[in-house]
Chain A
Amino acid sequence: MSYLYYPGCSAKSTGKAYEESLLAVFSALQIPTIEIEDWNCCGATAYMSISELKAFALCARNFALAERQSKGTTMIDLIVPCAACYLGLKKALLYLREYPEIRTKVDESLHSAGLKYTGHIRIRHPLDILVNDVGLKKIASLVTHPLDGFRVACYYGCQVIRPYADFDDQHEPSTMDKIVESLGAEVIDWPIKTRCCGGSLTGTVQEYGLRLSYNLLKEAKKRGCNVIATSCSLCQFNLECYQRQMKRRFKDKVNVPVAFFTQLMGMAFGIPSRQLGLHRLLVPLQQPSKTKADVGGHHVYN
């Protein structure tokens, strides 16, 4: 089974490590991925706040390109790792299916550019594919360097599981926990794993945005985690890159490495760190020493 792959804009800049590690892990699992040719931006949240119809049309162009690229396939599975893209594309797909008046307008606009969209497409997040298509058994069988000593806080963020995702629970998601556990790491209990990190607010109204990210980090640290795993490039950026600003603003040193869950998978599979983009992290991710993990933190509700 092969998948089409939609990287999204941030996978080409701040979230480069996500793309690198994702593709490395998928090739280790022998899952072929093909990037959509000439894909365009999904519109994200900003486009939606100016013109909804145009945001849907942007997504529809991607769908049409995907269909053109894989001629004859009855159902195309599109891998979308970025949370905002996942939500945007999924929403567009749903609205195009449910509201004919939107569909006709978008179809007209696509037609003017010689494109056509029929609707044989599914939007899939890597978490969904890894748990439901690949299976945890296969992931566990590939682990050569178990992540002993890692106490991981799995951060799902908002838009991967809310509101349209169908592969996981919206209140208490567990797919990433299961994957990380199968790598030999310990997953800490961290109930705010779907709380908002602030999104683009950290860049616009830092006063509010930083506080949201800081709350997450502080709680994770209190519960004794030594690495946070994320599935979204903006969440990773917010939680990791603003740690110096947080130290200045809240007079508290939070020094927690924040990695993509695919990077952790790659580490457990024994893929060289350069291929996983581990050198791109601002807070270096290292093998935690055994004693430190034993001393650090305590379970609160377990």
Chain B
Amino acid sequence: MEKWKGWPKLQFESELDPNFARQIASIPGGDKLYDCIQCGTCSGMCPLSPCMDYTPRQIVAMIRAGFRKEVLSSSTTWLCSSCYSCTVECPKEIRLTDIMYAAKRLAIREGVYPKKFPIPVLANEFFKAVERSGRNTESWLTVRLFLKTNPIQLFKMMSLGLRLWLRGRLSPKRESIKNKAELHSILKTLEKEYMVKPKRQLGLAGKETP
């Protein structure tokens, strides 16, 4: 278990980013963020909150206060395994899992996610594989993940891989859809839509980056 890193560093209000909360709240159903009563049900329900550097309740408070850098580079958002316990239990019906996703997306777009962490690497590799061939091949995804993050792990998992392969549960054949052109054209249109303003208003502490 990771050691608790304590409260986020005390900051002056001018150092915080007032736009951050608005940005996160712009997701569908995200404006519920302002209803949070800080009861801590989410942290209590979360099976992973003992491993996180900030608990989900703290993350909500930090988002509202504008601790942009701390939230986006924290391990919390990435450790969230999307089990939706918090979303179901929240008395104010805040969709916390979706808020975590929004923070993940911002972190990826700005490139501020914790670099040593394998989870964003997995997400990126998965994204690329599906964008390329329409389906995900588990064997290759695992190999690529371990090569990029921890090659020693690849050797450790060798025996498990072999046992799975003997039972026909792991094969090196790459899965793919037939009509890739169709998928590519769908995703390409959205690329244009989604990448309109990449880094313009996303600077730290409310300052616009050039």
Residues of B within 8 A of A51 (CB): 105, 127, 190, 194
Residues of A within 8 A of B51 (CB): 205, 208
CB of B18 to closest CB in A, whole Å = 24
The answer to whether A41 and B130 have CB atoms under 8 Å apart is yes
A interface residues, how many (CB within 8 angstroms): 66
* Contact flags A253-270 to B (C-beta < 8 A → 1, else 0): 000000000000000000
Residues of A within 8 A of B117 (CB): 204-205
Whether A198 is near chain B, meaning CB under 8 Å from some CB there, is yes
The answer to whether A110 and B186 have CB atoms under 8 Å apart is yes
CB of B31 to closest CB in A, whole Å = 13
Chain A residue at smallest Cβ distance from B100? A49
Q: Is the interface of B mostly helix, strand, loop or mixed?
A: helix
Whether A33 is near chain B, meaning CB under 8 Å from some CB there, is no
The answer to whether B122 and A48 have CB atoms under 8 Å apart is no
Whether B41 is near chain A, meaning CB under 8 Å from some CB there, is no
CA distance A207 to B119 in the complex (A): 13
* Contact flags A37-52 to B (C-beta < 8 A → 1, else 0): 0111101111111111
Residues of A within 8 A of B145 (CB): 203-204
* Contact flags B179-191 to A (C-beta < 8 A → 1, else 0): 1001101111110
Whether B6 is near chain A, meaning CB under 8 Å from some CB there, is no
The answer to whether A199 and B190 have CB atoms under 8 Å apart is no
B interface residues, how many (CB within 8 angstroms): 60
Interface residues of B in 151-206 (CB under 8 A from A): 160, 163-164, 167-171, 175, 177-179, 182-183, 185-190, 193-194
Partner of B127, one of A46, A98, A242, A245: A46
With A9-B136, A41-B135, A49-B105 known as contacts, the answer to whether A241 contacts B127 (CB < 8 A) is no
Whether A275 is near chain B, meaning CB under 8 Å from some CB there, is no
CA distance A61 to B119 in the complex (A): 27
Residues of B within 8 A of A301 (CB): none
With A54-B187, A57-B187, A195-B47 known as contacts, the answer to whether A13 contacts B119 (CB < 8 A) is no
Partner of A204, one of B83, B122, B163: B122
* Contact flags B100-130 to A (C-beta < 8 A → 1, else 0): 0100110010000000011110111011001
The answer to whether B182 and A113 have CB atoms under 8 Å apart is yes
Interface residues of A in 189-204 (CB under 8 A from B): 195-196, 198-201, 203-204
With A52-B27, A57-B190 known as contacts, the answer to whether A204 contacts B167 (CB < 8 A) is no
Chain A residue at smallest Cβ distance from B126? A46
The answer to whether B47 and A212 have CB atoms under 8 Å apart is yes
Whether B70 is near chain A, meaning CB under 8 Å from some CB there, is no
Chain A residue at smallest Cβ distance from B47? A196
Residues of B within 8 A of A9 (CB): 135-138, 175
The answer to whether A200 and B122 have CB atoms under 8 Å apart is yes
Residues of B within 8 A of A218 (CB): none
Residues of A within 8 A of B44 (CB): none
CA distance A102 to B169 in the complex (A): 37
The answer to whether B83 and A162 have CB atoms under 8 Å apart is yes
Interface residues of A in 30-74 (CB under 8 A from B): 38-41, 43-54, 57-58, 61
CB of B110 to closest CB in A, whole Å = 13
Residues of B within 8 A of A106 (CB): 190
Residues of A within 8 A of B84 (CB): 158-159, 162-163
CA distance A58 to B183 in the complex (A): 8
Partner of A49, one of B123, B185, B189, B190: B123
The answer to whether A205 and B118 have CB atoms under 8 Å apart is yes
* Contact flags A85-115 to B (C-beta < 8 A → 1, else 0): 0000000000100110010011011101111
CB of B159 to closest CB in A, whole Å = 8
With A13-B138, A16-B168, A162-B87 known as contacts, the answer to whether A46 contacts B190 (CB < 8 A) is no
Q: List 14 A-B contacts (CB under 8 A).
A: A12-B135, A41-B130, A44-B126, A52-B27, A52-B101, A99-B28, A109-B193, A114-B182, A170-B88, A171-B88, A201-B119, A203-B122, A208-B1, A280-B168
For the complex of A and B, 4 pairs with smallest distance between CB atoms: A158-B83, A46-B126, A196-B83, A49-B104
Point out residues on B near A: beta carbons under 8 Å.
1, 27-28, 47-48, 51, 79, 81-85, 87-88, 97, 101, 104-105, 108, 117-120, 122-124, 126-127, 130, 134-139, 142, 145, 149, 160, 163-164, 167-171, 175, 177-179, 182-183, 185-190, 193-194
